[in-house]
Amino acid sequence: MRTIALRLMYVGTAYHGWQVQKNAVTVAETLEHSLASVVGHPVKCTGAGRTDAGVHAETYIANFRTSSRIPCDRIPLAVNTRLPDDIVVVKATAVPGSCLKKEYTYRIYNSHIRNAFYVNRAWFYPKHLDETVMQRAASHFVGTHDFAAVRSVGTETRTTVRTVHYFNISRSGELIECRVCADGFLYNMVRAMVGTCVYAADGKFSPDDVPAILEGRNRTAAGPTVPAGGLYMTKLWYQEDVL
């Protein structure tokens, strides 16, 4: 049996997240069915992390075990002919080491008039946001903290302490990008962090209140969980850079 790692990208609008569910169409289930038809046996895919319903991935890593001898360089083309257009396998190779850190990017379309091409691709927010204020708030998230204040109730976890390596806010015209990298993320953590930065820019509280919000560990003290359609998994780091 070989273990194969796949690098893929997907638009999550039509799916209820990555992980297989009993009564909902997911990315993992769709990929597993397509892989099974290529390798000739049932397949179980293990992903680099969960993405929620409607969340996208510009880069995602999943691995599976197979007895098939099909060469790795032929797997992407073979699988892609069986996948819907919104999921694409980019590369297949021997499985890399464990994931060291991940980057998510959240996109906000900040304009008085919405843009049809950003529907389900960025969060339309019509009130002007000052990205410099958002950055002041974002900077307080960097470091090792207890992130319970920006975690939604969901998957159980042993600890709510994580290390955020960077949280950078930038603007290009009407598009604001919130790019955050950490060793791991709690359920809805990125979307709640972005919501907190938006609340700071909107004057709901000072950006310098973020440390006290984190220390208080109270979810209701932070900003809202922003919509899923603006969130993308954009980068992953492994012990071996093979994908």
The backbone torsions φ and ψ at residue 210, rounded to the nearest 5 degrees and listed phi first, read -60, -45
> What is the sign of the dihedral through the CA atoms of 178, 184, 190 and 196?
negative
Give the span between the Cα atoms of 105 and 210, in whole angstroms. 20
The catalytic site residues sit at 52
| Sequential pLDDT tens for the chain (243 residues) | 889 999 999 999 999 999 999 899 999 999 999 999 999 999 999 998 888 999 999 999 999 999 999 999 999 999 999 999 999 999 999 876 778 999 999 999 999 999 999 999 999 999 999 999 999 999 999 999 999 999 988 767 889 999 999 999 999 999 999 999 999 999 999 999 999 999 999 999 999 999 999 999 999 999 999 999 999 999 999 876 655
Which residue, chain included where needed, has tokens 């008039």? 113
> What is the sign of the dihedral through the CA atoms of 67, 70, 75 and 77?
negative
